[in-house]
Amino acid sequence: MKIWPIDPLPTRFDGDPGFAEALQYLAAGDLVAVPTETVYGLAADATSADAVAGIFAAKERPTFNPLISHVESLEAGERHGVFDATARKLAEAFWPGPLTLVVERRSSSPICDLATAGLSTVGLRVPATAVTRALTAALGRPLAAPSANRSGRISATTAEAVAADLGERIAGIIDCGPTPVGVESTIVAIVGPDPVLLRPGGIPRGAIEELLGRPLAAPKDAADRPSAPGMLASHYAPDAGVRLDAEDVRPGEALLAFGPDLPPGADAALAVANLSAAGDLTEAAKNLFGLMRRLDASGAATIAVMPIPADGLGEAIRDRLARAAAPRNMHHP
């Protein structure tokens, strides 16, 4: 496995040998981990069923679930999905950025059925990380990319975490350093009459509802909400157990703190990490997966997590923590 360090700031990468090599691998149907602003993605050519099958094999995903296809622009997205006025409004406001739109798929789209799990819809997103947009533009095809971690495990926000989890199963990793947002994209389905929030994520619900002037609906039924790793009860799971809304730290526990004041028992914790000592939810989202990995490595049997407010990015953080705390036997749908 190769690691290609690439400066995230430029917008052109033609002269970069790492970029060229990563592109060659993707064009050949190989797997490359790519940075996005949310988490690292395990990318493959979305139009190649062989390449996409490789993603499921590397992740050991229990089932074939729909993947997000990453494109470089709304214009590129419109080749694959149908954008009504609402979808276009959201794309124009939040792309590039941590929002995935599930829209009706165009029959002319070359995205393979394995990437969409045979659904009549397609999940599309334009990532904020320039190198990943440049890769899909240069490839001339969308990149299917779930989070670059083994199925059910903590999402990777650094190239080191990707390497530790997927190592020799992939051709290489484009390393742009830690991902700035830290939780996955918000997923909104624009399919029926009402926009549906399928997954809270890096764009707070309130920002979307304010733009649309209406509340986002909750998923109603199985058709709205296909069984998928990001939506399974148990997901993002460390080896340690997870105890939510902890008001104290018990013997043998590690502490995932939030805010300036630590609870009783914190002095005796096996390890302590603070999502944000200032109580800032944006900082907490960015730190979430990395600190969960660090506390898990402490060997504690349980990670006690202090209460996290539910506003703004807190909804996505609480969603990921609830899945990390869920019973592990629910892992296989």
Binding-site sequence positions: 38, 61, 65, 70, 121, 125, 145, 147, 155, 185, 199, 236
Paired strand residues for 143 = 45, 70
Smallest gap from residue 156 Cβ to Mg ion (A): 9
Sort strands 32-34 and 99-104 into parallel, antiparallel or unpaired. unpaired
In the chain the first and final C-alpha atoms are separated, in Å, by: 32
Smallest gap from residue 122 Cβ to ligand TXA (A): 5
Paired strand residues for 279 = none
Query: Given candidates 226, 259, 263, 309, which one binds ligand TXA under the rule CB under 6 A?
Result: 226
Query: Given candidates 67, 197, 270, 285, which one binds ligand TXA under the rule CB under 6 A?
Result: 67
Q: Which stretch binds ligand TXA (CB under 6 A): 139-147, 248-256, 259-267, 293-301?
A: 139-147
Sort strands 302-305 and 241-243 into parallel, antiparallel or unpaired. parallel
Q: Which stretch binds Mg ion (CB under 5 A): 13-21, 77-85, 139-147, 187-195?
A: 139-147
Could you tell me where the DSSP H helices lie in the chain? 17-27, 49-59, 74-77, 85-94, 113-116, 130-139, 159-166, 205-212, 281-297, 314-325
Residues 189 and 81 sit within 8 Å (Cβ to Cβ) = no
Residues 24 and 140 sit within 8 Å (Cβ to Cβ) = no
Query: Given candidates 147, 158, 234, 302, which one binds ligand TXA under the rule CB under 6 A?
Result: 147
Query: Given candidates 1, 53, 93, 231, which one binds ligand TXA under the rule CB under 6 A?
Result: 231
Q: Which is nearer to Mg ion, 121 or 147 (CB)?
A: 147
Q: Hey, which residues between 27 and 66 contact ligand TXA (CB under 6 A)?
A: 36, 38-39, 41, 65-66
Name which of ligand TXA, Mg ion, none residue 320 binds, using a CB cut-off of 5 to 8 Å depending on partner kind: none
Both tokens of 3, joined, read 């690691």
Smallest gap from residue 27 Cβ to ligand TXA (A): 20
Query: Given candidates 6, 198, 284, 324, which one binds ligand TXA under the rule CB under 6 A?
Result: 198
Name which of Mg ion, ligand TXA, none residue 122 binds, using a CB cut-off of 5 to 8 Å depending on partner kind: ligand TXA
**Single-letter amino acid code for the residue at 17:** P
Q: Where do we find the tokens 């997901």?
A: 235
Residue least distant from Mg ion (Cβ): 147
Q: How far apart are CA 71 and CA 93, in angstroms?
A: 16
Residues 269 and 254 sit within 8 Å (Cβ to Cβ) = yes
By CB under 6 A, the count of residues binding ligand TXA is: 30
Q: Does 100 bind ligand TXA (CB under 6 A)?
A: yes
Query: Given candidates 47, 86, 109, 116, which one binds ligand TXA under the rule CB under 6 A?
Result: 116
What is the CB neighbour count within 10 angstroms for residue 167?
Answer: 11
Q: Please report, to the nearest 10 degrees, the dihedral formed by the alpha carbons of residues 180, 132, 224, 106 taken in order.
A: 160
Residues 46 and 115 sit within 8 Å (Cβ to Cβ) = yes
Query: Given candidates 26, 91, 102, 112, which one binds ligand TXA under the rule CB under 6 A?
Result: 102
At 138, give phi and psi (nearest 5°).
Answer: -70, -35
Smallest gap from residue 100 Cβ to ligand TXA (A): 5
Q: Does 147 bind Mg ion (CB under 5 A)?
A: yes
Sort strands 121-125 and 99-104 into parallel, antiparallel or unpaired. antiparallel
Contacts with ligand TXA by CB under 6 A lie at 36, 38-39, 41, 65-68, 98, 100, 102, 116, 119, 121-123, 125, 145-147, 184-185, 187, 198-199, 226, 228-231
Contacts with Mg ion by CB under 5 A lie at 147
